[in-house]
Amino acid sequence: MGKRTRIINDPSELVPLLKTFGSQKHKQVYDALSNMWMSEKQLEEYIGDDVTSSINILKKGGLIESQWQMPEPGKKPEKEYHSAYSKVQSNFQCSLDDLSDIITLALQPYEEIKDTLEELEEMVKQGNNSLNNLARSLNKSPLYLRSLARRSDKLSVMGQRLRVKEDTK
């Protein structure tokens, strides 16, 4: 069982955590993975529902680790997952305006942020990946855009740059 501490130095890293623990299903998946290593198929049987989105959000938040499960002879290996952290420590400072934006962004339904998110994804695909340039173009703060990128399945944050993820599963 992962008994490490997740250290959060950037307030935008709260977005995947809030998404995870704001959903009963994601929380159930996290709790199941806290106790044992399980494949996606085993998780689906345990939870009784599709867990792909839960695994993706847990990966995005860096809350789970994976390894290949040794298969029975003649079968294909499967990835199995386990929670990587059991504690969190935050070490950041931001304005309450920024914090409220982050919390709102994390809890808003996808439909409400869809247009801005798709515009950001398209700009990054076209090569504009600097957070400062994107902030000027979209008239948003770099912290807001980092938080928005952490909400996206297609983008990842790399310091002061955004990039399109090759593997979206």
pLDDT of res. 1: 44
pLDDT tens, residue by residue, 121-165: 999 999 998 999 999 999 999 999 999 999 988 998 998 999 998
Mean pLDDT taken over the chain: 90
What is the model's pTM?
0.81
3-state per-residue secondary structure call for the chain: CCCEEEEECCHHHHHHHHHHHCCHHHHHHHHHHHHCCEEHHHHHHHHCCCCHHHHHHHHHCCCEEEEEECCCCCCCCEEEEEECEEEEEECCCCCHHHHHHHHHHHHCCHHHHHHHHHHHHHHHHCCCCEHHHHHHHHCCCHHHHHHHHHHCCCEEEECCEEEECCCCC
CATH 1.20.1250.20 fits domain 4-90: no
- Domain extents in the chain: 4-90, 96-164
